[in-house]
Structure 1
Amino acid sequence: MKLVIIDYGAGNIQSIKFAFQRLGIEAVLSNDAQEISKADKVIFPGVGEASTAMAKLRESGLQDVITDLSQPVLGICLGMQLMCNSSKEGNTKGLGIFNVDVVKFKAAVKVPQIGWNRIENLEGELFKGLQEDYIYLVHSFYAPKSNETIATCTYGEAYSAALQKDNFYGVQFHPEKSGDYGAKILKNFLDL
């Protein structure tokens, strides 16, 4: 199996690569459109601020490559947010894969949300064999619940912890930092 982690200068790629190594998979870091398109599975990571990350993605010319992928794709954290229609962070236009707009947590809660939170309302193959448990998050913006929500967390209000549309999956949390539970989610993604 060829697993490619998209390297566009805005990702937490080393920790994700190490997480897959622990599962026995040597992921390839790449910003080459052909290599990404030919992969069996693709990881779209992201760390940082939405408008800056989206600008880097556009500079790399990979935005259309991602939306055209037909194999399983997993967006992680900001990667998932960039797969949405837009983000209030920097008034950023997203890739439009998930039909939801990313918004900022209300002032009633401390931002960013950093640490462990319970993941609930699990649906679909990404969570096969898993029960509700705790996952690790670091974020100030979130995707509200939508028709594409396959798991939720609550922080002030319930929001999308994971999204799915066709071959595209997104998780707001960091599976690579969520212990055995996160490792099982990555294994389930590999098994799709």
Structure 2
Amino acid sequence: MNNTEIDQLLSDENEHLEKLHTIVKDTLADEELIIQNLVNPPAEILTVGQDLSDKVARFGGSWRFIILFGIILTAWIIFNSVAIGIYKFDPYPFILMNLILSCIAALQAPIIMMSQNRQEEKDRMRSENDYMINLKAEMQIRRLNQKVDVLLEEQIKTLFETQEKQFILLQEINTRLKNSMVKS
């Protein structure tokens, strides 16, 4: 091998390494945007009404609320059944209690729906994050495939070049052998 061939091999190797570096740089640049969106999600700014609706929905859907509400209704019914005269503020058909229960239900339903809508938005954002993670994984797989393709391409090229040089060397050896046999 002469200096020109060695220089060519080094040049080819540098070109090969440059391709791999370019793939790595592209991968890092593409992934940086995805990582920024996942690590620093936009801050959720709640209005007073949204915060209140979340708290009401959280309390209204708990065992604490059910038990407390059951105790209050039982105490209401017992007090109005046993109380005498003026102290009986809601006698037997308990119309006031039914009115209060209807008002609570009428107010609680839309508040819970507001909270559920916000939860749906959070779920949508989580699914977008999952999509971004899947996209990042797909990009990494594609980059790995590109790296493997570049490596295989270079190995095959090197193999063919080596075989070509070996073939040339064999021809030279064969020519020398013929020349030495002719001389003998």
Answer yes or no: same fold by TM over 0.5. Answer: no
Give the number of the structure whose residues are more often helix, by fraction. 2
Taking structure 2 as the reference length, the TM-score comes to 0.15
Give the number of the structure whose residues are more often strand, by fraction. 1
Q: Which one has the largest radius of gyration? A: 2
Q: With a CA cutoff of 8 Å and minimum separation of 6, indicate the structure with the bigger relative contact order.
A: 2
